């Protein structure tokens, strides 16, 4: 790997965006903890869908890692298959997120309810935006894969996509356990 590949400007930009996102979620979760200390905090059960989404996030990262490995081995048909599976799992995550919100509403937990209710909606919505971006990123890499622009000698796009997809999955796992432990 040459120096240009290690310090590619797109990799640097991606890591800047990831750091900014980590800071955003850290600010949200810090505000959550501070606000919880004020009292008047409604405790409610998280929807089961949020737990399922945690498993979905792990499965999506697994498929994405398999796609990266296939690209690195020039196994182009496996690459395309794993990318499609990553895309489908990302879409399943989004559908499950929506179902989780519906479950919250069915349990009388609303966006305009107490601070605890609002935080869950806002933080999960911001995460959902990140997942939408990840699914879009995977779609771009799929197009590149069909144009034979993703292979052992051209790994930048799949490397960036895999890094972001893993970040989004890890962030959801953190958020789920944060909500679970800080009700």
User: What burial letters (b/e) apply to 53-70, b meaning 16+ CB within 10 Å?
Assistant: bbebbebbbebbebbbeb
pLDDT of residue 3: 53
Task: Please list the ranges in the chain whose pLDDT falls under 70.
Answer: 1-6
- Neighbour count for residue 50 (Cβ, 10 Å): 23
In the chain, helix, strand, coil percent, each to 5?
80, 0, 20
pLDDT in tens, 117-141: 999 999 999 999 999 999 999 999 9
Residue with tokens 């890890």: 170
């Amino acid at each position: 790997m040459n120096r240009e590949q290690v310090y590619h400007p797109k990799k640097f930009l991606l890591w800047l965006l990831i750091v900014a996102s980590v800071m955003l979620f850290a600010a949200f979760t810090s505000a959550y903890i501070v606000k919880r200390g004020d009292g008047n905090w409604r405790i409610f059960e998280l929807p089961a869908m949020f737990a399922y989404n945690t498993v979905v996030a792990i499965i999506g990262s697994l498929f994405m890692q398999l796609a990266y490995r296939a690209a690195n081995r020039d196994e182009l048909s496996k690459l395309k298959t794993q990318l499609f599976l990553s895309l489908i799992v990302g879409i399943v995550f989004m559908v499950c997120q929506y179902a989780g919100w519906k479950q919250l509403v069915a349990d009388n937990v609303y966006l305009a309810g107490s601070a605890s209710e609002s935080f869950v909606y806002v933080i999960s919505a911001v995460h959902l935006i990140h997942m939408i971006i990840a699914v879009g990123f995977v779609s771009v890499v799929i197009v590149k894969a069909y144009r034979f622009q993703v292979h052992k000698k051209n790994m930048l796009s799949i490397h960036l996509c895999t890094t972001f997809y893993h970040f989004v999955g890890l962030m959801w796992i953190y958020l789920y356990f944060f909500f679970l432990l800080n009700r």
